[in-house]
Structure 1
Amino acid sequence: MSRPNQSGSAAPASVEKIRDAALRLLAARGAAATSLREVADAAGVSIGLVQHHFGTKAGLIEAVDAYVVDVVRNTLNPPPGTAPDPDSVNGVGSRVTAMIADHTDVVDYMSRALMDNTPIGARIFDALFAIGDARWQRRAEQGQIAEGLDRTWAALNPILLSLGALILRPHLERHLPEPFTTRTQLARWEDAVNTLIRQGQLRPES
């Protein structure tokens, strides 16, 4: 497995700069249409430095993939040792909107990976499902879910609501007064999704 070469005190900053430039370009164009030279130009470094840290284009993409997976997991999972959300629907919703607002490039990359049906897209989707499935299992054990609820679709539907909004964002924004990723519109969307989940998948008292 390729690993970025981070020797030298300036290495971490240059690695992050290159990785972030690659993240933006890969999200916008896809892997096939993005070259190492374009990444170097976008990062303001030499192509030699890109190769020094990442070796090959595949090594750079591997580093970007690992970063994206880490951001998704660390943002959507509550920090270890924290108390359970008093309102699990609101807690999850706030973490999802925080990821969209604070990590827009990651969200764009994730959307591209899913649309292109890449291995990292499948890995991200499966990770999202695992997180959601565990959450709905806990809700079922606590007697919170609606009677007769299909547990598999209980985990899948919130993913569809989230990923669908991200992938269809340009179309959604034709019907919104400002970009979807503004705090105001994200709050509207979060409230609407939370209402659908509460009224469709949870017991009324939950």
Structure 2
Amino acid sequence: MSSVDDRTARARVRDAALELFAEHGEDKVTMRQIAERAEVSPALVVHHFGSKAGLREAVVEHLRTWMDELFDLTADTGTAEAMQAGEWSSIGEVLQHALPEGSPIVPYLRRLMMSGDPLGTELLAAWHRQTVEIFTAWDAAGKLVAGPDPETRAALAMSSDLGTLFLADHWRQVLGYDPLHGEGLARWADEAMRFYAAILPTTDTGADNDIASPPPSSKESS
């Protein structure tokens, strides 16, 4: 087998494991099932990953790479400028590229975070840290109001974003459209722009003004 074929087989096995882990949970998936989904022999799965723990490590590394690439795409202040101008198309393209329809990444993330798996908390913490960094950078560039408590503001924004991702299947049934793809994404995004307008500075308010200033302390009010 050539090195190219070998790498392709390894990726197929990893992707099969990701799909099955997302569908059933890691504890209920066997190495043989993964081999069958990837259309390779169980021996080849063992050759590449050694064990199911090794497969989990490969899946998680793939997930981390996906997260890093997504943040690289969104960290540019040009994304914030597009949001300020209400130009969702470029941001929507980023999301559609990052989350192709049918991707098992979202259901796998949902399972990790909803099951109480410590890895879910670890990934959420990394995601939050990067979001705070982006908010702070955008605030310094005058493209977003990070507010007096950027950590909590980032957590609130993430709760909204993750809620969209994790509840997308339910929203399709409730709303009658897909909030993550096609025309449904555009419709969802239009309202999201209005929803997030409070943290997008305008030429009238500037980045230094904030609608969520902290209340005065008890000493100040006394």
Q: Does the CA contact (< 8 Å) of 2:106 and 2:165 recur in 1?
A: yes
Distance 1:54 1:162, change over 3 A: same
The CA distance in 1 between the partners of 2:67 and 2:156, in whole Å, is 18
In the alignment, which residue of structure 1 is the partner of 2:104? Answer: 105
Q: Does the CA contact (< 8 Å) of 2:131 and 2:154 recur in 1?
A: yes
Q: Does the CA contact (< 8 Å) of 1:161 and 1:193 recur in 2?
A: no
Distance 1:48 1:35, change over 3 A: same
Distance 1:77 1:117, change over 3 A: farther
Which letter maps to 1:200? A
Q: Percentage identity across aligned positions?
A: 26
SS state of the match for residue 153, structure 1?
helix
**Bigger mean CA offset, 124-133 vs 46-55:** 124-133
In the alignment, which residue of structure 2 is the partner of 1:132? Answer: 131
Distance 1:49 1:155, change over 3 A: same
In the alignment, which residue of structure 1 is the partner of 2:26? Answer: 31
The CA distance in 2 between the partners of 1:204 and 1:149, in whole Å, is 18
In the alignment, which residue of structure 2 is the partner of 1:176? Answer: 175
Unaligned ranges ≥5, structure 1: 1-5
The CA distance in 1 between the partners of 2:120 and 2:194, in whole Å, is 28
- Of 10, 17, 23, the residue aligned with 2:12 is 17
The CA distance in 2 between the partners of 1:154 and 1:29, in whole Å, is 33
Return the index of the structure with the highest Cα Rg. Answer: 2
Which letter maps to 2:70? T
SS state of the match for residue 104, structure 1?
coil
Matches within 5 A, 1:1-206: 8-78=3-73, 84-85=78-79, 87=81, 89=83, 90=88, 94-101=93-100, 104-146=103-145, 149-197=148-196, 199-205=197-203
In the alignment, which residue of structure 2 is the partner of 1:3? Answer: none
The CA distance in 2 between the partners of 1:170 and 1:95, in whole Å, is 20
Which letter maps to 1:155? A
Instruction: Provide the TM-score with structure 1 as the length reference.
Output: 0.82
Q: Does the CA contact (< 8 Å) of 1:18 and 1:40 recur in 2?
A: yes
The CA distance in 1 between the partners of 2:30 and 2:108, in whole Å, is 16
SS state of the match for residue 114, structure 1?
helix
RMSD: 2.8
Aligned residue pairs, count: 199
Q: Does the CA contact (< 8 Å) of 1:136 and 1:155 recur in 2?
A: yes
The CA distance in 2 between the partners of 1:158 and 1:132, in whole Å, is 9
